[in-house]
Chain A
Amino acid sequence: MGPATATAREQAAVVPVTRLGPDGVLAPGCDPALSSAEALAAFRLMLLTRTYDERAFSLQRQGRLGTFSPVTGQEASVVGSAWALDPTRDWVVPQYRELPAMLRQGHTLEKVLLYQMGNPVGNRMEEGVNVLPIQISLAAQVPHAVGLAWGLRHQGLDACVITYFGDGASSEGDVHEAMNLAGVRRASVIFFLQNNGFAISTPVAKQTATESFALRAAGYGFPGELVDGNDLFAVYEVTRRAVERARAGEGPTLIESRTYRLGPHNTADDPTRYVDPEELRSWQALDPIVRVRAWLRSEGALDDASEVELQAELDGEVARAVAAAEAFPKVRPGQIFEHVYARPPDRVAAQWESVGEAGSA
């Protein structure tokens, strides 16, 4: 996996590291960061994510699913970064737009759907799935990731932790406090900032005056990297480097993954109010799925027949998850009280009793 030598401007984190061009052709002198078998597996997860987004959007419009935030356009960014981790020992601390990273770690589509259909049980990761629950209070998860990385290393584990947040969340104070602490403690954490162009409707230019978020790392005493977030190989390569640094005890890395949210913020959002159609078209031409597909085809790892077969398989996988989630027992009012406390105060226990399901957890 010998990548081309990074240019000075790439190293300065003002020009994104790019490997796989929009046409699916590797930059001259680059070896692919993933074997074609691995790239095919990553492509499968990217396509599953796109398939899920489309199906979930339609379920939401039919009233069968609550509000959710599609990943569309950011599949290479999320999959490429998660692919660099070892799910058996590394951890993901998500925000809420990182479905495939959670799946890669072992979470299931059925549980994702269950949560989006309004059952809190869906947000419980099973034992062995190294993922914290999704975070709605933007940036609040970033300090958690630092503490988690610190705690795992304190216990002698060589785990590293990746935390996801966006260009909008980067304005929150928690990100500053967390990065500062991570630098001080050389925490084995990767700050993966997905710059997808918007915080709901607020464009990046109104979020920051910096040329590159990755430059901020210098102020915390650790490296920052800027990567083309629509390039699976580049994202994987840059994140892999950060994982190796973390694993070796060399501390944190900030990665700015420059990508674009091709869909709405969530199912309640109307991006036609604020997205420039020209800009959207220009990013649609940079679709991360298109370029991996083109590369896989050029390698002979994918053709029309196998992609039809793959798509049918993914459609089936999503359909089975939807059926399982819809067949799951309905939420009971008693679930309001479950897991609020390990040892509930008497008053809470009495309130629980009053809804008639006490102790049913």
Chain B
Amino acid sequence: MAVLNMVEAIRQTLADEMARDGRILLLGQDIGRNGGVFRATDGLQERFGEDRVVDMPLAEAVIVGASVGLAASGLRPVAELQFLGFGSQAFHQIEGQVARMRFRSQGRYGMPLVIRAPFGGNVRTPELHSDAHEAKYVNSPGLKVAMPASAYDARGLLAEAIRDPDPVLFCEPLRGYRRIKDEVPDADYTVPFGQARLVRDGTDVAVIAWSAAVTVAAEAAAQLAADGISCAVLDLRTLVPLDVRALAEVVARTGRAVVVHEAPMTAGFGAEVIATIQEEAFWSLEAPIGRVTAYDTPYPIASVEEHYLPSIERVKHAIRRVAGEV
């Protein structure tokens, strides 16, 4: 057992999976000699060679599109998009090709591939590097979407993603790469998809989040505990599959809920969570469900990003309002 940050956990998982399965091949921009702009693949080209850790041209559509062909040939590609915001330049390959190839070929060509993509704010990046685009991808049947919030889950969910016969978009929170650290076992393990994690139990309000927003939600919950408000914090871990049962259970216990995410509000995945809660736990609800999200604006210039992202204060305020205190 060692304390790792998320990028270390991801790097270790890639190395272990590549050692375990010779069919795995990494491809992306700057991932070879440079070890990735965030060092997620540092040392892997040295260890596994240029044939298995491949520096690609600056072209997202063919990074993903070539992965489709590599998977069809019998390999298990793990592609890196340098930033999820640039995934839009490969969206037609992700939504129209990766997600559908198993269906289109009626099972002949499964797509056991992973697309890793860092995203999210609070690291002072230029435009499009920070955007939380997860909701654009969840409406792509055939694709799974994983959003780890801890180093433990980064390792367990990535190992699961690589071994899953279905394609997975694996979103890595930029600010968690170095700041989120926790204990990660040395031994092999996976975290199954579709099983949310109860980060903290509580009786008054359920706070539902994923990826780096979980840290914000957990901190808000810890601070409110001192004020006598007991919050449960549920980390969804994967948006597809969605752990409907865990959502229903936590809301049945608390009767009140707040959803927190870094993406803009309108048609963000929070809307799906709220719709699911009203289907599954409507009669348990004692108050309207709150949501704390980014604003319906483009991601702002970095100097004001802390006003755009859900903050601990905004989450606390929403919890108090849902709890009937304000």
**A105-123 with Cβ < 8 A to chain B:** 120-121, 123
Our pick among A127, A140, A150, A173 for the contact of B97 (Cβ within 8 Å) is A140
A69 interface residue per 8 A CB criterion: no
In the complex, A346 has a CB within 8 A of chain B: yes
Interface residues on B, range: 35 or more
Q: Which of B12-20, B60-68, B260-268, B294-302 lines the interface with chain A?
A: B60-68
Q: Which residues of B contact A150 (CB under 8 A)?
A: 66, 69-70, 73
**Cβ of B135 under 8 Å from chain A:** no
State whether A345 and B144 are in contact (beta carbons under 8 Å apart), knowing that A144-B97, A148-B73, A184-B57 are contacts in the complex. yes
Contact A151 B69, CB 8 Å, known A181-B56, A346-B194: yes
Complex contacts, B285 vs chain A, CB 8 Å: none
Interface string of B46-72 (1 = CB under 8 A from A): 000001000011010110111111111
Of A125, A147, A178, A180, which one neighbours B67 at CB under 8 angstroms? A147
| B174 interface hit (Cβ, 8 Å) | no
Please, how many angstroms separate the alpha-carbon atoms of A147 and B59 in the complex? 14
Pick the residue among A145, A342, A345 that contacts B69 (CB under 8 A): A145
| B241–A347 touching, CB < 8 Å | yes
Q: Which of B62, B72, B105 has the most CB of A within 10 A?
A: B62
Q: How many residues of A contact B (CB 8 A)?
A: 42
Choice from B74, B92, B105, B244 contacting A347 with Cβ under 8 Å: B244
A-side interface mostly: helix
Are B103 and A339 neighbours in the complex by a CB distance under 8 Å? yes
B105 and A143 contacting across the interface, CB-CB below 8 Å:
no
Q: Return the contact of A148 from the options B70, B110, B240 (Cβ within 8 A).
A: B70
B109: interface (CB < 8 Å): yes
Chain B 251-294 interface mask (CB, 8 Å, partner A; 1/0): 00000000000000000000000000000000000000000000
Q: Report if A38 contacts B (CB, 8 A).
A: no
Select one of B65, B73, B242 contacting A143, CB under 8 A. Answer: B65
Contact with A along B234-252 (1 / 0, CB 8 A): 0000001110100000000
- Binary per-residue interface labels of chain B (190-204) against chain A in the complex, 1 for a CB within 8 Å, 0 otherwise: 000110000000000
Which residues of chain B are near A151, meaning CB under 8 Å? 69-75
Say whether B142 faces chain A, with CB atoms less than 8 Å apart: yes
Taking CB atoms and an 8 Å cut-off, the chain B residues in 114-165 that contact chain A are: 141-142, 144, 164-165
Closest to A126 in B: B108
Q: Is A137 an interface residue (CB 8 A)?
A: yes
Q: Which residues from chain B contact A227 at a C-beta distance below 8 Å?
A: none
The residue on A at minimum CB distance from B96 is A137
Q: Which of B93, B103, B110, B244 lies at the interface centre, i.e. has the most chain A CB atoms within 10 A of its CB? A: B103
| B303 interfacial by beta-carbon distance below 8 Å | no
Q: Does B104 contact A (CB under 8 A)?
A: yes
**Are the C-beta atoms of B62 and A180 separated by less than 8 Å?**
yes
User: Given the complex of chains A and B, what is the CA–CA distance between A273 and B103 in angstroms?
Assistant: 36
Is the C-beta of B102 less than 8 angstroms from some C-beta in chain A?
yes
B73→A147 contact, CB < 8 A: yes
Q: Does A206 sit at the interface, judged by CB under 8 A?
A: no
Bound CA span A144–B93, Å = 10
Q: For B71, B72, B75, B102, which residue has the most chain A Cβ atoms within 10 angstroms?
A: B72
Tell which of B56, B102, B244 touches A346, judged by Cβ atoms closer than 8 Å: B244
A265→B93 CA distance, assembly (Å)? 25
Nearest chain A CB to B303 CB, angstrom units: 34
Q: Are B164's CB and A343's CB within 8 A?
A: yes
Q: List 12 A-B contacts (CB under 8 A).
A: A121-B106, A123-B105, A147-B66, A151-B72, A154-B25, A154-B70, A338-B106, A339-B107, A340-B102, A342-B164, A343-B164, A346-B241
Closest 10 pairs between A and B when the two form their complex, measured CB to CB? A147-B69, A143-B65, A151-B73, A345-B241, A147-B66, A148-B69, A124-B106, A177-B62, A342-B165, A151-B70
Known A123-B106, A342-B102; 10 more pairs at CB < 8 Å: A93-B69, A147-B67, A147-B72, A147-B77, A161-B69, A174-B92, A180-B62, A338-B106, A341-B166, A343-B164
